[in-house]
Amino acid sequence: MTKGIFPVDKLDKIETPFYYYDIELLKKTLDIVKTETSKYGYSQHYAVKANANRTILATIAAAGFGADCVSGNEVKAAINAGFPASKVVFAGVGKTDKEINLALDYDIFCFNVESLPELEVINELSGKKNKRTKVALRINPNVDAHTHEYITTGLNENKFGFSLSSLPNVVKVLKELQYVDLIGIHFHIGSQITEVETFKPLCEKVNELQTFFEKEGFDLTDINVGGGLGIDYDDPNANPIPDFAGYFAIFNQNLQLKNKQKLHFELGRSIVAQCGSLIARVTYIKHGESKQFAILDTGMTDLIRPALYQAYHKVENISSNLPEQKYDVVGPICESSDTFVKDYSLNECKRGDLIALRSAGAYGEIMASQYNLRDIPKAYFSNKLQAEE
């Protein structure tokens, strides 16, 4: 039996919960991103924080992408998966000396620097190794991404990046540092942005800052606009691949690159989210006073986004074709927030039915925890259906 994209008969033999990845969809998504970026000569660094599963990383590396990392262990995982160090960028507001030294030893492409103290530490540690290090300044452009407050990163009140008002002092310090070379500027205004017009104000701000740095005597070779493109959580079957053509076209139409400048992107969610689903079983159907609960063998420890962001994931009963009933779909964790959806229509559920929580390829497996001493779910893949140990 197959229901939608799921080979139910095969999945029914696997112990739940587990993550299931449609590798064919991932490869198709990567091909489209490559086609669209090649139109303009843009560079793409996959945001490792979205999903660091080894098979996923290796598949993306094999497609020729670079990597955007936010920890030393992400740098290490990316390079071990096949991403060349020359395509690795390292961002993050709190890089430790250990992490910086690790990245320096790997000789990565660039550090996206987020504060003056960090810039001075990178200069100091680079000097101890007698090497010059390429950096880009992450600038907070005060652009509203119109998304959830927890995933908005480009406003003045956010912790990320340099404020616009601090830049005159930053460039003054940069001119005095001996071991860092400023090659570019970096931005990331937020995540799950579904209206590509939102990126127009970012382009305008980049154009203004280009003039500022040029007047200060810096010849920037690289502009990095981060990521943030959203996906369709409501109907992943209808829209499994985002509008990459429209997304990259917005930048081509509105951002004014200088001669020989390279434009970099750091997409994560839009590349991997739709290829992943969390598969669980119905453990019990509990009838309350005014509603019924479908209690699953998976919960917020395996997919925390609904509890953390009040995020929506489409839920499907892939074992049933019975008429729909209303359920609160919940997990087994001893927290009231361990709820995926409420008053939700599903094909009638019975104990043992397989349930798919869709669009879980980004910020799903990577954020899993062992709260309540639960096991971390294994991962299986459409092209081999073997668990990644």
Please indicate, yes or no, whether the overall pTM of this predicted structure exceeds 0.85: yes
Instruction: Determine phi and psi for 150, rounding to 5 degrees.
Output: -75, -20
Per the CB < 8 A criterion, the answer to whether 125 and 101 are in contact is yes
Can you tell me the distance from the alpha carbon of 17 to that of 243, in angstroms, rounded to the nearest whole number?
31
For residues 263 and 312, membership in a common domain is answered with no
Cα distances from 210 to residues 144, 216, 313, in angstroms, run 20, 10, 40
Instruction: Examine the domain organization and report whether 46 and 85 are in the same domain.
Output: yes
Strand-pairing partners, residue 138, are 186
Q: From the CB of residue 291, how many other CB atoms can be counted at a distance below 10 Å?
A: 12
Helices of type H across 64-145: 72-81, 97-106, 116-128
Which residue segment(s) compose the domain that 279 sits in?
2-18+274-381
Asked, for residue 387, whether it belongs to a domain, the answer is: no
Last residue of a domain, one of 252, 272, 292: 272
Sign, CA dihedral 169-175-176-177, equals: positive
Tokens of 216: 């200060």
One domain for residues 279 and 199: no
pLDDT at 151: 40
Q: Do 221 and 370 fall into the same domain?
A: no
240 located within any domain:
yes
Q: What is the pLDDT of residue 159?
A: 65
Q: Are residues 260 and 350 in the same domain?
A: no
Alpha helices (H) in 281-375, listed in sequence order: 305-309
On whether residue 297 sits in a domain, the answer given is yes
Residue 389 lies in a domain: no
Q: How far apart, in whole angstroms, are the C-alpha atoms of residue 383 and residue 27? A: 11
DSSP state of 332: S
Per residue, what are the HEC states of 219-230? CCCEEECCCCEC
pLDDT at 158: 62
Q: Please answer whether residues 223 and 206 qualify as being in contact, where contact means their C-beta atoms are separated by less than 8 angstroms.
A: yes
Residue in this structure with the two tokens 């400048």, named with its chain if needed: 261
Whether residue 40 is contained in a domain is answered as yes
Residue that is last in its domain, among 272, 303, 320: 272
Residues 337 and 258 in one domain: no
**Residue 388 falls within a domain, yes or no?**
no
113 and 232 together in one domain: yes
Same structural domain, 121 and 243: yes
- Pair 310, 189 in one domain: no
Buried b (16+ CB within 10 A) or exposed e, 361-382: bbbbbbbbeeeeebeebbbbbb
* 14 and 29 fall within a common domain: no
What is the number of domains present in the chain? 2
Which residue's structure tokens are 């993550």? 19
| 91 and 169 share one domain | yes
Two tokens, residue 46: 């996959």
Are the beta carbons of 134 and 113 closer than 8 angstroms?
no
How many angstroms separate the CA atoms of 369 and 328, rounded?
23
Residues 152 and 174 in one domain: yes
Q: For Cα atoms 139, 32, 368, give the angle at the middle one, nearest 5 degrees.
A: 65
Domain edge (last residue) among 243, 272, 301: 272
Per-residue pLDDT 10s for the chain (389 aa) are 678 789 999 999 999 999 999 999 999 999 999 999 999 999 999 999 999 999 999 999 999 999 999 999 999 999 999 999 999 999 999 999 999 999 999 999 999 999 999 999 999 999 999 999 999 999 998 776 554 454 444 344 566 799 999 999 999 999 999 999 999 999 999 899 999 999 999 999 999 999 999 999 999 999 999 999 999 999 999 999 999 999 999 999 999 999 999 999 999 999 999 999 999 999 999 998 889 999 999 999 999 999 999 999 999 999 999 999 999 999 999 999 999 999 999 999 999 999 999 999 999 999 999 999 999 999 999 998 877 76
- What pLDDT is stored for residue 144 in this prediction? 60
Within a domain: residue 82? yes
CATH (domain of 210): 3.20.20.10
Q: For residue 306, what is the domain's CATH number? A: 2.40.37.10
Residue 362 lies in a domain: yes
H-helix or E-strand spanning residue 26: helix 23-38
Q: What is the pLDDT of residue 388?
A: 73
**Which are the contacts of 147, defined by CB distance < 8 A and separation ≥ 6?**
190, 191, 192, 193, 228, 230
Residue 132 and residue 145 in contact, taking contact as beta carbons nearer than 8 Å: no
